[in-house]
A = this chain, B = another copy of it.
Amino acid sequence: MTQAAEISTAPPPRHDEILIAIREMIFTGELIGGQRVPEKMICQQLSISRTPLREALKVLASEGLLELLPNRGARIARLTASLVDEMFPVMGALEGLAGKIACQRISDDGIDEIRALHYQMAAHYKRGELGEYFGLNQQIHEKIIAATGNATLAGMYTSLAARIRMARYRANFSQPRWDQAMAEHDEILSALTERDGPRLTGVLSKHLKNTCETVKAVIAGGETG
């Protein structure tokens, strides 16, 4: 085994980094829904040429994060209420499946990790730290999905979650809604601890329905981010 083995010391492919960079620009709100994306601008901003950029744009379009208008360039996808109504039932089906499988397969250590994240999140909730709360919240949901050991499921979930993140709905996260969400998370942790698949699936579904309403409220308010 004289070769460098599997550890890739090679420079990372530009194309992937561009993908990540643009996704980040969308999530941070640097690029917002409906906005056109001139290739030249992004090229200068990232110091790359148009070829790898265009490759990344095609992939992002296939993920639904932006739309390509032939001969008229790309624009950031706009999240409509009807799209949200489409996406959340699918999210529900995926998370429901994940809940069921996770209860069967997650290790005790895995549950402990989620519990740790949960209490961290609860602390941020009590201190009113919304940004930190959302970060932990996302991590918990991802951990549950990851606990299924199903990469296909995880990939689809992540893709859908990314499209919803475009809404930046946390801007419309009222205190009552926050209280409710935190209570739902208590239930989630409880169901997971008891490895009660059906209950976890039910709670996740309820949690998701409420999130859906919040997101739609944001969109209806004109903030389509």
Contacts and interface: CB of A to CB of B under 8 A. Distances in A.
B55 A90 contact: no
Contacts of A59: 58-59, 62
Interface residues of A, number: 33
Contacts of A90: 94, 97, 150, 152-153, 156
A83 to B, nearest CB: 7
Q: How many copies of the polypeptide does the oligomer hold? A: 2
Contacts of A55: 54-55, 58
B153 A86 contact: yes
Contacts of A106: none
Q: Is the interface of A mostly helix, strand, loop or mixed?
A: helix
Given A54-B55, A55-B58, A90-B153, 13 more contacts: A10-B71, A51-B51, A55-B55, A58-B59, A59-B59, A62-B62, A83-B152, A86-B150, A86-B152, A89-B101, A89-B150, A90-B97, A93-B94
Interface of A: 8, 10, 13, 15, 51, 54-56, 58-59, 62-64, 70-71, 83, 86-87, 89-90, 92-94, 96-97, 101, 150-153, 155-156, 160
5 contacts: A13-B70, A15-B58, A56-B58, A86-B151, A90-B156
